[in-house]
Structure 1
Amino acid sequence: MKKRLILFEKVIMIVLFVFSILMCVVTPFGWDEQLPDWIWAVFLGVLVLIVPYMLYAFVHQIIRITKEKKWGSFTKRVLLRFVYFFCISFVILKLLALSYSKIEYLLFTFFTVCISIAVDDIEDKNKTTVRQLKVYPVKDADLAKIKPLFDNWQETLIWSCLQGVMGQAWTNDLENPTSAKIQIADFCFLAGEMEPDFFNYRHESWNTDFTIMVPQNEEWASLIEEHYGDNAKRVTRYAIKKESDIFNRERLQQFIDGLDSEYEVKMIEGDLFIQAKQNHWSADLCSQFPSYEEYKEKGIGAVVVHKGEIVSGASSYTVYKEGIEIEIDTREDYRRKGLAAACGAKLILACLDRGLYPSWDAQNLGSVALAEKLGYHMDHEYVAYEVKL
């Protein structure tokens, strides 16, 4: 390390000495004013970085020579230091001739270039890591290549991603994919051959510490358990059949009309969108839409309002080209009053009016019962994992 510092010091001395000689030659002819800014920027930046170190080294060497009384080397070493500081002084005098704004500009240029080089190096390392992990983001134009891996999976969240509407997909091979991962909202779907690298790569936009992983088969399930251990909780969820023309409009309207007069059923608009996102229990009703403008364009939802406050709601958790995936919930102190049924009925009717299919996936048997009350039919159970990342 010491030898490297000495070598570094000598290189800097030589560079500054050459620069000083160059200035002595070009200054009388006014050529120094024609030097490009990058030359000034480099020497000014080097000067700012090296002067504190050289001052320390100069003082440290004098103290050391004095203590060790090696006067034979004193003349040689100190003379070299004086030559070096003469060069620095000359450069400083030249720089003082520049305006303050010029010096500020040159320093900004030098350090901006240094930072850019450092950032590019970090990005290159990240890209290398992604390549080594065999994890490649799938662009919209390539989504068709991974679609066969998800065939026969009747899941609207998957369809949304494959349609390029919402979510992000990754694969192990962009040309001939054999495994793929889809991340959309809080859900992660794993398909094809097992690829452990999917668990080791985390995209910078994925800022959550929780996800629901849905394996395509038991092999994927075993891999999740092996990788996450106690942080992966195995749960049973319930898929609801996607059937058209099963809804009874009159019956759905009865759920809405049957509410007590103290409650109002409203579509989610403006202030109700903001209120839904602000309440912890109702945030997921609109959580996948950053702004009301985007929700107004793509989403749809209904809420029950009591004394100006949202107490129950049903909304589009995610959307796909043919419909929505429903998110439904009721504030804990307002449950068992038929509010969720009224919200769900209002949302289903609004979807039917727009030609959208209101898809339903149940987290528990209570959700299954509510879905069947509104006209749906259960399809099958499936395994998922609630994972703490």
Structure 2
Amino acid sequence: MIYELSNDLRKKLIPMFDDMDSTIILSCLQGHMGSAWVDDLENPTVAQVTVGIFVFFAGNPNTKIAEELLYNLSDYNLVIVNTDEWKKRIESVHKGSIEKFQRYKFLKNPDHLGKSHIQNLLSPLPEGYELKKIDATIAKEPSLHELSEDFITQFNSIDDFINRGVGFAVLNEGQVVCGATSFSIYDDGIEIEIATHPQHRRKGLATITASALIVDCLNRGIYPSWDGANNESVKLAEKLGYIFKESYDTYFINYIK
């Protein structure tokens, strides 16, 4: 049997996940969002952290409870673990339903993000485009959610996002064509979510929007964490000043209950 941990008990899992170097995990274990599941409320030996489609496992993978947790998934999941034992267990339990690919980590050092350098990237937008901080009106705009379902959905509501999150958007003819937001939040910062409409790419919109978000975070003394999903994301991160750390295995699991 598995149990969901209340917010006030999640911090006890921090040592179990400490070497995974993910601010998304912190956003859950610090009680900001997501859910945490364990085999035992008092002395957990295996645990699952979920924030949106991101799912992390730690502890002992070679138990029946670990298998139960591996089935505690939504329809579409990006599963991340950091031991070969967990990888073997995932590949065994979800054989035929997984796709393994690489994501990309960067060093989390605010000294790498020179504010003057990033402000210089805030060049004028092409004609017809406008950069705006996301307010309640833009947060309700359907084109924002069509661009990425993950811009604000980890928050309890639009008001919750406005109160606790942050984001910037580029609009063209009233439609959001590029956005950069706090996918998740933790005590000392945010995890960035960024997307550009395919028809509006290669115009510098992502660079400008990300720069606006990063400068806003730095001005408020919080860290804008970046985790790359592809080579384009890596190149943009490095352009902004982030320093690549390593690639890591990620499992896309299409789980049909």
Looking at structure 2, the residues matched to 344 and 384 of structure 1 have their Cα atoms a distance apart, in angstroms, of 24
Secondary structure, aligned partner of 1:180? strand
**Which of 6, 15, 25 is the equivalent residue of 1:158?**
25
Secondary structure, aligned partner of 2:100? strand
Bigger radius of gyration among the two: 1
Looking at structure 2, the residues matched to 292 and 157 of structure 1 have their Cα atoms a distance apart, in angstroms, of 20
**Which of 295, 301, 307 is the equivalent residue of 2:167?**
301
The residue number in structure 2 matching 1:170 is 37
Find out whether 1:317 has 2:188 as its counterpart. no
TM-score (norm 1): 0.62
Preserved CA contact (<8 Å) 2:112 2:243: no
Identity %: 37
Preserved CA contact (<8 Å) 1:179 1:191: yes
Find out whether 1:327 has 2:193 as its counterpart. yes
1:355 shift after superposition: 1.5
The residue number in structure 1 matching 2:152 is 286
1:167 shift after superposition: 1.0
- The 1:290–1:139 alpha-carbon spacing in structure 2 relative to 1, beyond 3 Å, is closer
Looking at structure 1, the residues matched to 246 and 96 of structure 2 have their Cα atoms a distance apart, in angstroms, of 26
Secondary structure, aligned partner of 2:217? helix
1:231 shift after superposition: 1.1
1:198 shift after superposition: 0.7
Secondary structure, aligned partner of 1:233? strand
Looking at structure 2, the residues matched to 211 and 192 of structure 1 have their Cα atoms a distance apart, in angstroms, of 19
1:185 shift after superposition: 1.0
Looking at structure 2, the residues matched to 142 and 286 of structure 1 have their Cα atoms a distance apart, in angstroms, of 25
- The 1:268–1:276 alpha-carbon spacing in structure 2 relative to 1, beyond 3 Å, is farther
Larger relative CO (CA 8 A, sep 6+): 1 or 2?
2
Find out whether 1:138 has 2:8 as its counterpart. no
Name which of structure 1's ranges 152-161 and 369-378 shifts more when overlaid on structure 2: 152-161
1:141 shift after superposition: 2.9
Looking at structure 1, the residues matched to 238 and 197 of structure 2 have their Cα atoms a distance apart, in angstroms, of 21
Preserved CA contact (<8 Å) 2:54 2:77: yes
Correspondence list, 1:266-277, <5 A: 266-275=132-141
Secondary structure, aligned partner of 1:164? coil
Secondary structure, aligned partner of 2:79? strand
**Which of 75, 82, 97 is the equivalent residue of 1:231?**
97
**Unpaired stretches in structure 2, ≥5 consecutive residues:** none
Looking at structure 1, the residues matched to 82 and 6 of structure 2 have their Cα atoms a distance apart, in angstroms, of 22
1:29-68 CA distances to partner (integer Å, 9 max, x unpaired)? Answer: xxxxxxxxxxxxxxxxxxxxxxxxxxxxxxxxxxxxxxxx
1:212 shift after superposition: 0.4
Preserved CA contact (<8 Å) 2:4 2:37: yes
**Which of 332, 337, 360 is the equivalent residue of 2:226?**
360
Letter in 1 for 2:181: S
**Which of 181, 193, 209 is the equivalent residue of 1:343?**
209
TM-score (norm 2): 0.92
Find out whether 1:147 has 2:39 as its counterpart. no
Number of aligned pairs?
251
RMSD (Å), alpha carbons: 1.6
**Which of 213, 227, 242 is the equivalent residue of 1:376?**
242
Structure in which a larger fraction of residues adopt helix: 1
1:260 shift after superposition: 2.1
Secondary structure, aligned partner of 1:288? coil
The residue number in structure 1 matching 2:71 is 200
